[in-house]
Structure 1
């Protein structure tokens, strides 16, 4: 079965917040999230909250540089969601046919001195 790679990490948060309202069909299974190393702290916290709200879902986190994550996915590594540090990395996945949904920017940052 071909894994579907999404580009919207916000979906993890949204599903986690509405899951209790959908008691008839609790979430179960596994999700693999590939995220830029700069997102380690925030995505680890998100995964912890998601697991607490959805104990039957196994969350696997894979952190690395965006270019490394792209190379892994293009080489066949399983990933359901990617959160890259730059849009150009995600565009490489779109061009190579590894993404099934249009990329969406979910956060921005800026340099502060």
Structure 2
């Protein structure tokens, strides 16, 4: 009888142990090792920092893999079926394209905003002080389909500024790169690009830039196989920790 009772107790103990650890083990097994975030080029450095803090806040959170590019390129990739869990763009218009095509899992969340400015070579050798000095100098801007390009066109229209760029780039990072490399005298970028240029360029305030503000939305992609984790990252962008990092990088509130 004692052996029978002992055997029953052992079976019961094992059953309870299985019930207490089974669901947790299954949840851990189902948790993805990584999520993919498509993000506007202007977010490159700050999103790397935000991902570090995201992991630090939750050791069980998945790693974050980024794909940075011009927002319009990212939207096109998702529209064509590229695998992504989160999309963060540099304006509302590009995000609206995905929403209208029913490619988002929910409403986008605004997490930051940005303003245009002018980048010139270190020391400003061409003495460019305003848009009036564009004539006779090599100006580089973003292409119209890119958020910074659409904002530039809107700014030019509102301020009667004449634009005759020597090139139109597919991302604001490329504009900054041309000025930094001495391939252009000036480029219209975001204020945050000056902050991350490490002194390679100088900032010249763009007259009337406050008339055009780009808001940055983020959303979970509908086709994501990791909806909960994607939602968690989008939510983290609005946290005090992420917002401080965005402010330190020169972004304003969304």
Same topology, TM > 0.5 = yes
More helix by share: 2
RCO higher in 1 or 2 (8 Å CA, sep ≥ 6)?
A: 1
Unaligned runs of 5+ in 1: 1-23
Does 1:37 pair with 2:41?
yes
> Which SS does the other structure have where 1:110 is aligned?
strand
- TM-score, normalising length from structure 1? 0.69
Give the distance between the partners of 1:83 and 1:102, measured in 2 at CA.
12
In our comparison, the structure showing a higher alpha carbon Rg is: 2
Give the distance between the partners of 2:70 and 2:116, measured in 1 at CA.
19
Superposed structure 1 runs of 4+ greater than 6 Å apart: 24-27
Q: Indicate conservation of the 8 Å contact 1:36/1:65, yes or no.
A: yes
Cα-Cα RMSD: 2.2
Give the distance between the partners of 1:105 and 1:51, measured in 2 at CA.
22
Does 1:100 pair with 2:105?
yes
More strand by share: 2
Number of corresponding residues:
90
- TM-score, normalising length from structure 2? 0.33
Does 1:47 pair with 2:58?
no
> Which SS does the other structure have where 1:77 is aligned?
coil
Unaligned runs of 5+ in 2: 1-23, 118-204, 206-254
